[in-house]
Amino acid sequence: MAVIKVMDEVLANKIAAGEVVERCASVVKELVENSIDAESTEIKVELQDSGTKEIKVIDNGKGMDKEDAVLAFSRHATSKINDEEDLFHLTTLGFRGEALASIASVSKVDLKTSTGNIGTHVVLNGGKIITNEKGDARKGTIITVSELFYNTPARLKHMKSLYTELASITDYMNKLSLSRPDIRFSLTNNGNNILLTDGHNNTLKTIQSIYGSDVARKMLEIHGENADYEISGYISSPEVHRSSRNNMITLVNNRVVKNADINRTINDSYHSYKPDNRYPITVLHIMVDPSVIDVNIHPTKMDIKFSKMDTLLELIKETIVKTISHKNLIPEVVIKEAKPKYQEMTLDLERTESKVKPVQEEIIVNTFEDEENVIYEEDNAGDVIMEHETPYNKYDEKVMPEMYPVGLVHGTYIICQNEKGMYIIDQHAAKERCNYELFKKQMGNPHVASTPLLLPVTIELSNSEFMILKQNMHILKDLKFDIAEFGINSVIVKAHPAWIPTTNIEETIRKIIEIVIQTEKNFDIEKFNEKVAIMMSCKKAIKANTNITLEEMEALITDLRKCQNPYNCPHGRPTIIFYSNYDLEKLFKRSGFDTKK
């Protein structure tokens, strides 16, 4: 008797659902992507209880006739590819023909669809067709998925909280709306609006719908291309960052994908412009010939393979670095009228009235003179208002403005001024930046001088550390260290590069050797030089509570102006902030009055 048997189709679909349908967001993803492939210009997603009770997707796409409406729920049934050759020229988001069959096998599905003529109404329960009848003639598709995982209790038991499920759906809808700003998307949960885009094909306006006006004003437009790839989109200014990589959005031929190498390259491009443990907001569109990529890696189609990955990563890094390195990135402290936080009651003899005192808030933003772009805002009535703002859209030749020091606060902050307002410089952070760029230049110079030590430094290591250092000894010798083995698990240093400070020489040498040992896996000389330069620049910087003269302040500002990035210390902290004359007057309640009084 044969032991091997062909699975029942419903059972096979349930097994496939384990890969395709992980949670409510997976259902939304597959259904909305089908709507996009159907050339819809408006897609509505309506949820009940974060999708755990019901998910409804309404579109105005091409729709299906009666035959296709039934066949669509068969496994491996698709209209998007016809033969093997089509796999190498995919232009649609879906193509595997698994999603609808998998979803229907673990839920109850109600489908209403029409091509504009007689409509079709199909109802399925656990993958089995219950109803197949004529329906409305409205062109497009309405598909409702309810009671997800009702027939797979183990999966249902491990569903996340309603908040977590809703957050996952919202996150993916945000990314889809950024991939297709030409489509009007809406997302509601229990009747409450969560996302609404206008479909006007304006990516910056879509970013505003998701992240708000403050973030949209601080986005930088990028564009670059080479022989294989074209990239475009928006990246946040260095001052705008988040604690998670989730806001680094990568879109390949309008498909939302996840790629650790691309995320790492984007983050590395911001090196020394922001803290290392924070991540920028990016919307990166990558356009490429479909034959250069392979999206048929996983049923979710979010993990794809690239040919010539090195050229793509190089293009991304060059484009981002070029964009942020030629912008005036001095944060401006703007005084905004906040919403009333409390009410002060004043009693009148004739009547009692409530007067509200607005509270002022300091909000750090970036602005640039003589640069204009349009940001869209909505008033309370929902009407669109055109507001002229000054984000980072145009090249600015004058990277750091002239400023003149007038004093020092707490032995730490240099106060400067010019005709536009007041600048505050963190002298430690500024000196760190100057030192960092100097050390980086010297470390890359093969002819750097070497200084002999009066008393050689002997360093003992563990046997494992000694083996790693012995293997990478040439790195230190290339930096002009005179270093050699000295007995068992020990080394002796007789000379060091001239750029090492004369104070705490032994401690500095030990730390450099520690960096070599710690980075022995996948050793990268560029990253090694970065770490050493950062460590050295901090040691040699002006310490807090150190009073310096006006001449020393002027010299520091001059050195800072020569830096490639004068706005941040190597750790990503700001070196300068700016108060405009207007905001200073606003702080002292002088705006609107004669400031000469």
State the pLDDT confidence band at 593, using cuts at 50, 70 and 90: low
> How many CB atoms lie under 10 A from the CB of residue 114?
24
Higher pLDDT, 514 or 405: 405
Least confidently predicted of 71-75, 170-174, 476-480: 71-75
Give the rounded distance of the alpha carbon of 546 from its chain centre: 38
Fold of 449-498+502-539: Ribosomal Protein S8; Chain: A, domain 1 (3.30.1370)
Q: Given a cut of 90, is residue 221 above it in pLDDT? A: yes
Whether pLDDT at 368 is above 90: no
Q: What is the CATH number of domain 203-325?
A: 3.30.230.10
Model confidence over 419-459: pLDDT tens digits? 999 999 999 999 988 888 888 777 766 666 788 888 898 98
The DSSP symbol for 117 reads S
Residue type, 208: Q
Higher pLDDT, 463 or 447: 463
Q: What share of the chain is helix, strand, coil (3-state, %, to 5)?
A: 35, 30, 40
Average pLDDT of the segment spanning 282-305: 77
Copy the structure tokens of residue 509. 């040498």
pLDDT 10s digits, 325-344? 777 677 667 666 555 444 44
Mean pLDDT of 295-307: 68
Phi-psi region of 508 (alpha: psi -120 to 50; beta: other; left: phi over 0): alpha
At residue 255's C-alpha, the angle toward residues 252 and 258, to 5°, is 75
56 three-state secondary structure = strand
Residue-wise pLDDT for 527-560, tens only, equals 677 777 777 787 777 777 788 899 999 999 999 9
Which of 127-131, 330-334, 412-416, 465-469 has the least mean pLDDT?
330-334
End-to-end CA distance of the chain: 105
Report the topology of domain 9-196: Heat Shock Protein 90 (3.30.565)
Residue 297 has pLDDT above 80, yes or no: no
Domain ranges of the chain: 9-196, 203-325, 332-395, 449-498+502-539
DSSP label at residue 252: E
Q: Where are the alpha helices (DSSP H) in 218-339?
A: 260-269, 309-325
Taking the mean position of all CA atoms in its chain, how far away is CA 88? 30
pLDDT at 524: 64
Q: What is the DSSP string of 514-560?
A: HHHHHT-TT--HHHHHHHHHHHHHHHTSPPTT----HHHHHHHHHHH
- Pairing status of strand 282-288 against strand 248-252: parallel
pLDDT, position 521: 56
**Rounded CA gap, 298 and 259, in Å?**
13
| pLDDT tier for residue 374 given thresholds of 50, 70 and 90 | very low
